[in-house]
Structure 1
Amino acid sequence: MRKIILDCDPGHDDAVAILLAAGNPYIELLGLTTIGGNHTIDKVTHNARQVLTIAGALDVPVYRGASRPLINDVVTAEDIHGDSGMEVHGYNLPEPAVGVEDGHAVRWIVDTLMREEPGTVTLVPTGPLTNIALAVRMEPRIVSRVREVVLMGGAYGTGNITASAEFNTFVDPEAAAIVFGEDWPVVMVGLDLTHQALATPEVESRFAALGTSAGDFVVALVDAFRHNYKDAQDFDNPPVHDPCAVAYVIDPSLVETVPAPLSVELAGTLTRGRTVADFRASDAPCNSSVATRLDVERFWDLVVDAVQRLG
């Protein structure tokens, strides 16, 4: 079992990541923490509770996190995720049967890492890195206690919100710089990898064939996501970014990685938020790596299996 804290901003692809984490038998989902990103903190927290309700994961605690970046103004992605932050087609989303716990997500992350056995908890941030940066500033001792940080964000190639920057790192580049700068193992699962995880009609049909509520939910997510991605970024099939990070935690052999020091551009007029992977140093000792290639067939097998288990 791999213990994880999933720090997310649901979001269509975050929703699939939650289902994967909740349905995979090798993941112990200690809790969900939410972060403003794909939409406002109120909406993404509501969406997280809805997804856990659909998954039947009613015992997973939800903690509300930071509502805004460290320095930047709030940026959301309504063009991709819709007015609710998790628009669906042809599926009636339930009222959440999961509440929001008392206390702030950052405090809970720190307390959990200080309580659990060192080296047993993996942080899986799939939104802006504000909560994780605040946690490590609040309690630097968590760095030595984290097994690794497997994040969805960044790109060593082309960005998506700008030509240079991926959305999550663009929203809060200072937070990303803090997370990349700490001495803990970091795996950056960025656009270069996640754009290989396309939800094609063939993939969608596999979820439809399950004949379950969770499977129908994924179909409804993908239908809306495909429409929005086509309008916003001219993708024929939407990439499901966030489950790639969870999949790596479950089975690292699904993802090829290359060691590389990572940094974030904070000052460039055209490049603020860009993640820079220094592949020149790939032979030197390094605590960070970059995901480059996905075993697409095995990835989708993993996601379909998890959703099927949820029923």
Structure 2
Amino acid sequence: MEKIILDCDPGHDDAIAILLAAGDPRVELLAITTVAGNQTLPKVTRNALSVCAIAGIRVPVAAGVDRPLVEPQRVAEDIHGDSGLDGPALPPPAFELDGRHGVQVIVDTVMAHEPGTVTLVATGPLTNVALAMRLRPAIVERVKRVVVMGGAHTRGNTTPAAEFNIAVDPEAAEAVFRGAWEVTMVGLDLTHQALATDELHERVRAIGGEVSGFVLDVWEFFGETYRTVFGFRHPPIHDACCVAAVIDSAVFTTAKADVRVELRGEWTRGMTVVDFADVPAMRHGSSPGDFRTEVALELDWPRFADLVVGAIGRLSASA
């Protein structure tokens, strides 16, 4: 069983990631930590607790950092609404927040388990993860790997060059990508293949129950904003791709690369600059040891859809 900490900023797609992590028996969800991103920290933290309440999830939930390391705070209200999770009815929390800071929960949880057994799944800005590295550098050698929803090797969605999670806190992202640990970058090139299609809606509708209804409400609101803002026919389920990769390594293909985050460009700040290893080493200034990030490329959509439907079905059956 894969042990994970889910660091997130719910967020419609984060909500599906939480459900997938809690609803698949191949994953042990150790803790949920929240970070300011899609909305302010109080709002995304409340959303995390509400998702747990809907699905009967009982794990430590802790609030982390409320702003980026350097950048002014920005939120994605145009995509996720004023609450950060507009659309579905959100029940009150069923339990209290963990009293520790989210960064401390990451450190404590990693250090409490055997080296190489805990995966960090980060689906928001990487501020909490970067500060956990600074607070306790020993976690870098103990973490199994870090799976990041963020970046792209083609184009961004917040600027022409930068994806939202990286653009919000590029300094934190650069620290994580430069860390001496294994990173998997699940960027827009992959997540834009993970669409909540009509077929997926029908499969979830057939499950019935409160959890199924919540997911459909999530996709209805998220789908409308993606149609309006980006012209998508169906909304992408970005963050669930990261959890899916932990459950089933065959859910997408990857290529090894050296990933750097642009911090100074006037038009490119927050861009993930991807140097793939299949070009001659040193051609773009990367040394052989720099190629330690796996960049997600191609999704097996039927496999991904089965994981999502299966998790929702299990949570519905136990609710």
Specify the alignment match of 2:45 in structure 1. 45
Pairing 1:303–2:308 present: yes
- Letter of the aligned partner of 1:249 in structure 2? V
Give how far 1:287 is off: 2.0
Q: Which residue number in structure 2 is paired with residue 290 of structure 1?
A: 295
The CA distance in 2 between the partners of 1:227 and 1:262, in whole Å, is 33
Q: Which residue of 2 aligns with 1:253?
A: 250
Aligned to 1:221: 218
1:23–1:310 CA contact under 8 A, matched in 2: yes
Secondary structure at the counterpart of residue 196 of structure 1:
coil
Alignment-derived partner of residue 5 in structure 1: 5
Q: Distance in 1 between matches of 2:246 and 2:73?
A: 30
- For 1:25 and 1:264, how far apart are their aligned partners in 2? 35
* Matching of residues 87-106 of structure 1 within 5 Å: 87-88=86-87, 91-106=88-103
Partner of 1:173: 170
- 1:135 alignment partner, one of 114, 122, 132: 132
Contact 2:258–2:277 at 8 Å: present in 1 too? no
Aligned residues: 308
The percent identity for this pair of structures is 55
How far is 1:212 from its partner? 1.7
| Partner of residue 116, structure 1 | 113
1:131-152 Cα offsets, whole Å, 9 max, x none, are: 0000001111111000000110
Q: Are residue 271 (structure 1) and residue 249 (structure 2) matched?
A: no
- SS of corresponding position for 2:144: strand
Distance (whole Å) between structure 2 residues aligned to residue 26 and residue 305 of structure 1: 12
Cα distance, 1:98 vs structure 2: 2.6
User: Retained in 2: the 8 A contact 1:260–1:290?
Assistant: yes
Contact 2:47 2:90 in 1 (8 A): no
Q: Which residue does 1:55 correspond to in 2?
A: 55
Farther-moved stretch of structure 1 (282-291 vs 44-53): 282-291
Distance 2:218 2:306 in 1: 18
Aligned to 1:84, the other structure's residue is in SS state coil
For 1:113, the aligned partner's letter is V
Alignment pair present for 1:262 and 2:267:
no
Map 1:60-79 onto structure 2 (within 5 A). 60-79=59-78
Corresponding residue number in structure 1 for 2:284: none
Q: CA deviation at 1:94?
A: 1.2
Which whole-Å deviations, capped at 9, do the CAs of 1:182-218 have from their partners, x for residues lacking one? 1100000000000000111221111111112111111
Q: CA deviation at 1:281?
A: 5.2
Instruction: Determine whether 1:158 maps to 2:163.
Output: no
Which range moved further: 285-294 or 125-134? 285-294
RMSD: 1.1
CA shift digits 1:148-202 (9 cap, x unpaired): 0011000011100110000000000000000000110000000000000011122
Which residue is 1:34 aligned to?
34
Q: Which residue identity is paired with 1:52? A: C
SS in structure 1 at match of 2:33: strand
- Opposite residue 222 of structure 2, the aligned amino acid is F
Cα distance in 2 for residues equivalent to 1:26 and 1:225: 28
- Provide Cα deviations, 1:82-135, integer angstroms capped at 9, x if missing partner: 1110011xx432111032110101111111111210000000000000000000
Q: 2-side partners of 1:279 and 1:95: how far apart?
A: 46
2:207 equivalent in structure 1: 210
**Could you tell me how far apart the structure 2 residues matched to 1:173 and 1:180 are?**
10
TM-score, scaled relative to structure 2:
0.95
Contact 1:261 1:281 in 2 (8 A): no
Unmatched segments (≥5 aa) in structure 1: none
* Contact 1:52–1:98 (CA under 8 A) maintained in structure 2: no
3-state SS in 2 of match to 1:76: coil
- Residue aligned with 2:244, SS: helix
Partner of 1:86 in structure 2? 85
AA aligned to 1:236 is R
Structure 1 segments, 4+ long, off by >6 Å, are: none
- Does residue 237 (structure 1) correspond to residue 242 (structure 2)? The answer is no
Q: Is the 8 A contact 1:50 1:98 kept in 2?
A: no
Distance in 2, matches of 1:280 and 1:103, equals: 40
Residues 12 and 222 in structure 2, CA contact (< 8 A), matched pair in contact too: yes
